[in-house]
Structure 1
């Protein structure tokens, strides 16, 4: 027997559901280790049994949801050990990606790095004054874009996919720091500027050092 082939409409529904669950996991609406029951999720988010199950499988592959032995799902844990492990993987992947990007990146890539840095600085000036859910999401998108742009010139889809996977796994920790007022935006501005200047100067070792300082501080480590 052949399985049902997903339609473009199915894919769209799953993408919308996944975005909603990612957001609520990141903001703690769906708590670490919380059991995720299909019917309850459908009542809150919509979709069919099939689309919700596919959504949970997608988030499981991303490391945000975990399949349990009883064939159910739960939100992954968010302990200090989890944070340290995510930090380890982020640093290894982003260092490799940045090194490759600086070897292969062209002037248009430098322009995109500058633009993403400018956008991040702009939103950080806003959230340093006040934060609500909308500005927190804008800030998170700007942080994600800056990190992704730094490694995009590595021209390795698998590397950039892994970078985004572990970046998204760190999202809960980063948003918690923001909402709890535990980020020093003056220090972040200096770290981001040092990273940008090293990239534009094509000083690889300085860039890697600046990247490690920035990512470590970004996760409150």
Structure 2
């Protein structure tokens, strides 16, 4: 049964819903790396028309989650050790710059949003560590995304915010795979996140950037030995 019913006037809303469903299923491994994406199968699962499916795939291809192949349609992007290293390198640079700019321009309201996002993430990490099921994983994934987005939010640059989101989304598959494989050290994560928050509140840009790098690389960079399963 399709997740979204077809309507007479398919518009940007349908495309956005289909793209969101695809993005989630790619991130959670329902659609594995290198899987072929056939329009008939996608229509059956997500609903919409061939046009709306193609538009959603086009959006995901610009985000780096889907790849178009000449005369062969679309497939889920690869997720190898080299892909991970490249994504993490870009996240460190882009999110580090965004955080520098946020520290320079962010006000008390921004600090409050970072504190709130950190608190929500802490609760979500406790929940997923205690019971790593689909619901807690989904809530944790969203809390982690919100925390990193909050750090960049006061940068004053819509473009760097968009890049932060793009490369964060590309890294989600690896983080969620680490969760499924029980490779996350939640005690160490809590300490890293606390250090990052404190350096932000201290307005210590070098320490904040170093702590952010530790958080991005964290459980992933030292342990990846092959493609995401």
Coarse TM-score class (shorter-chain normalised): over 0.9
Per the normalisation by structure 1, the TM-score is 0.94
Q: Quick check: 1:45 aligned with 2:46?
A: yes
Write 1 or 2 for the structure with the bigger share of helix.
1
User: Which whole-Å deviations, capped at 9, do the CAs of 1:35-81 have from their partners, x for residues lacking one?
Assistant: 11111111122110110010100110111000002251000000000
What are the residue-to-residue correspondences of 1:23-172 with 2, within 5 Å? 23-172=24-173
- On the 8 A contact 1:170/1:219 being kept in 2, the answer is no
In the TM superposition, residue 219 of structure 1 has moved relative to its aligned partner by 3.0
- Measure the CA separation in 1 of the matches of 2:84 and 2:116: 29
Change (3 A) 1:162 1:106: same
- On the 8 A contact 2:183/2:219 being kept in 1, the answer is no
| Structure 2 residue runs without a partner (length 5+) | 1-7, 223-229
In the TM superposition, residue 115 of structure 1 has moved relative to its aligned partner by 0.2
Change (3 A) 1:179 1:220: farther
Change (3 A) 1:22 1:60: same
| Structure 1 residue runs without a partner (length 5+) | 1-6
In the TM superposition, residue 8 of structure 1 has moved relative to its aligned partner by 8.3
Runs of 4+ that moved beyond 2 A? 218-221
Helix, strand or coil: the match of 1:119? helix
- Measure the CA separation in 1 of the matches of 2:9 and 2:213: 40
- Measure the CA separation in 2 of the matches of 1:60 and 1:168: 12
What are the residue-to-residue correspondences of 1:172-187 with 2, within 5 Å? 172-187=173-188
Which has the larger displacement, 32-41 or 116-125?
Answer: 32-41
Aligned to 2:225: none
User: Which whole-Å deviations, capped at 9, do the CAs of 1:155-201 have from their partners, x for residues lacking one?
Assistant: 10000000000000001000011111110000000000000000000
Per the normalisation by structure 2, the TM-score is 0.91
